[in-house]
Amino acid sequence: MQIKQEQIKLNSWKTWKRFTLSNDRGIELSCLDFGGIITEILAPDKHGQKENIVVGYKNYEDYLDNPNFFGALIGRVAGRIEGSSFSLNGETYQLPPNEGENHLHGGPGAFHQTIWQTETFEKENTVGIVFTQQWEDGHNGYPGNLDMKITYTLDNNNQFSITYQGSADKDTVLTTTNHSYFNLSGNLKTGIQKHNVTFDSSQFVELDEALIPTGNKLDVNGTVFDFQEGRNIEDGIHSDNQQNIYAGHGYDHFFTFDKNPGAKVSVVEKNSGRKMIVETDQPGMVMYTSNGLGEGLQLKERESAPYLGVCFETQSSPASIHHEGFPSCFLPAGEDYYSRTVFQFGLVE
């Protein structure tokens, strides 16, 4: 097990830290103190060839803006908040709109655009980084002074875990995630159309044309949203289901897990032989298949294009802010927020 730290000099006045975590079985993960951004994960294929399995920029400067949120920590609220406002305890809170009239992924200067305080640790079978930061009451319109602690840990079982801990001194809303785009083909050799995904979810959240939850939950049975027995992502890309069309011909939907805690998502890419298991204590996830990823961005291995990565954004549902019956984002003052998601890297047996 090993952890390395180095300086990334963007210009004469801006320097970031880059950390590389590596275990004894061929997994290497690189990330930044800026946004907690995961820039690269190297994992062996069935022939032992180590390749990158996440989408990242060729040039570090491009992470400054990062409109696609590649690899970044997301908060205070992951997802879209309708109308950039919400009511809590009789008060209405206005948030900065950053996607049309709506508020996306915490807004500008949120988790994904913050220099985090970092502390590394190295043990016999684990290495990791602890990210900490505070946000003032009223930052981007959210109530409460917020303290966050997020821990990245890599172990010798090829498990990479993210633990999120937080508390605020006022009633507030909070649900966090990581926005890595996975592509198990390795070095973006192909798109993610033939990635086969399996997870237990009998319902997903209906979206309108602006990708805002309508307040309805839809049954997956008989649709391309049924992943209970596994299906290729391309099924939703080629689907004429109105929900897939709204999402830009693919998926950008919140699925509620039937088996929770301990919900599992299995992802298999047959050509490389790679397999990833995502295990979480969260009540659901947004699966986003990079339908809106345009062309022309300089990525590490190639130019960008739609369907180059798939995100598994484990979280509660921001629909709970405006609608009843959804996994809640509400965090009472003084109570501890805790969630954990584990990514297990391996090969198809």
Catalytic residue among 103, 105, 112, 179: 179
Q: What is the pLDDT of residues 240-285, one digit of tens each?
A: 999 999 999 999 999 999 987 789 999 999 999 999 999 999 999 9
What pLDDT score does 346 carry?
A: 98
What pLDDT score does 267 carry?
A: 98
Q: Residue 135 falls within a domain, yes or no?
A: yes
Is 47 designated active site? no
What pLDDT score does 261 carry?
A: 77
What pLDDT score does 260 carry?
A: 77
Q: Residue 16 falls within a domain, yes or no?
A: no
What pLDDT score does 201 carry?
A: 98
Q: Residue 13 falls within a domain, yes or no?
A: no
Q: Residue 39 falls within a domain, yes or no?
A: yes
What pLDDT score does 218 carry?
A: 98
Containing domain of residue 313, as a range? 2-8+21-347
Q: Residue 31 falls within a domain, yes or no?
A: yes
Long-range contacts of range 214-220, CB-CB < 8 Å, 24 or more positions apart?
A: 215/319, 215/322, 215/323, 217/256, 217/325, 218/243
Is 139 designated active site? no
> What rounded mean pLDDT belongs to the chain?
97
- pLDDT at residue 209 tops 80: yes
- Domain harbouring 289, CATH code: 2.70.98.10
Q: What percent of the chain has pLDDT over 70?
A: 100
What pLDDT score does 213 carry?
A: 97
- pLDDT at residue 14 tops 80: yes
Q: What is the pLDDT of residues 74-115, one digit of tens each?
A: 999 999 999 999 999 999 999 999 999 999 999 999 999 999
What pLDDT score does 272 carry?
A: 98
Q: Residue 291 falls within a domain, yes or no?
A: yes
Sign of the dihedral through C-alpha 335, 203, 103, 81 = negative
The number of folded domains in the chain is 1
Catalytic residue among 234, 269, 279, 313: 313
| This prediction's pTM | 0.98
Q: Residue 14 falls within a domain, yes or no?
A: no
- Average pLDDT rounded to a whole number, residues 137-163: 98
